[in-house]
Structure 1
Amino acid sequence: MNLKERVGLNLQDARRAKGVSQEELAHRANVNRGYVGKIENAKYSASLTTLEKIARALNIDPSELLKPRS
């Protein structure tokens, strides 16, 4: 699994654990909903700035999006 896939899956897991839709997350992080979906599906790589905005919107540490999957 590459880093882009790992970030996407970690983002999806964190978002679902918080009970937040892609649309709501996009609104909170001030990014496009389609962009959130493409990050989750490993179609796009997110910048560190975007990952920080998304993590802040989910109230998690950005490192959670990069952590290894078990």
Structure 2
Amino acid sequence: MEARQLLAWNVRKIRVERQISQERLALDAGIDRAYYGRVERGEENLSLATVDTLARALSLPVAALFRIPELGEEEPQTLKAGRKKLK
């Protein structure tokens, strides 16, 4: 898996596990939502500064965004569309 796909895999997995929307994470990281969507699809070559910004927005070390998935690990799914219901 090349670096862009590895980064995309990990960012998406972490974001989905934490139930954070793409829009929210992009806003927290100070990057454009459409650009962030391309990051998750592995279509963008990020600068180290942008990788660092995403790691900070997720409160993780940069290395966590390059974790190699274990053999057989399922691809991260998308979040359910729509707004969360108020409690």
TM-score interval, normalised by the smaller of the two chains:
over 0.9
Matched, 1:34 2:38: no
Q: C-alpha root-mean-square deviation of aligned residues, in Å? A: 0.9
Match of 1:58, as an amino acid?
L
For the Cα contact (< 8 Å) 1:26–1:36, is it kept in 2? yes
TM-score between both structures, scaled by the size of structure 2: 0.76
SS of the equivalent of 1:19 reads coil
SS of the equivalent of 2:26 reads helix
Matched positions, count: 70
Match of 1:38, as an amino acid?
R
Q: Which of the pair has more CA radius of gyration?
A: 2
**Counterpart for residue 17 of structure 1:** 17
Larger proportion of helix: 1
Please state how far the C-alpha of 1:51 moved relative to its aligned partner.
0.9
SS of the equivalent of 2:52 reads helix
TM-score between both structures, scaled by the size of structure 1: 0.92
Q: Which runs of 5+ in 1 are unaligned?
A: none
Q: Which runs of 5+ in 2 are unaligned?
A: 71-87
SS of the equivalent of 2:68 reads coil
Q: Deviations over 1:13-68 (max 9, x none)?
A: 01111211110001100000111111110111111111111111111111111121
Q: Which contiguous aligned blocks of 4+ residues in structure 1 show a shift greater than 4 angstroms?
A: none
**Counterpart for residue 4 of structure 1:** 4
The percent of aligned pairs where both chains have the same amino acid is 30
Matched, 1:44 2:34: no
Distance in structure 1 (CA, Å) of the matches to 2:15 and 2:65: 10
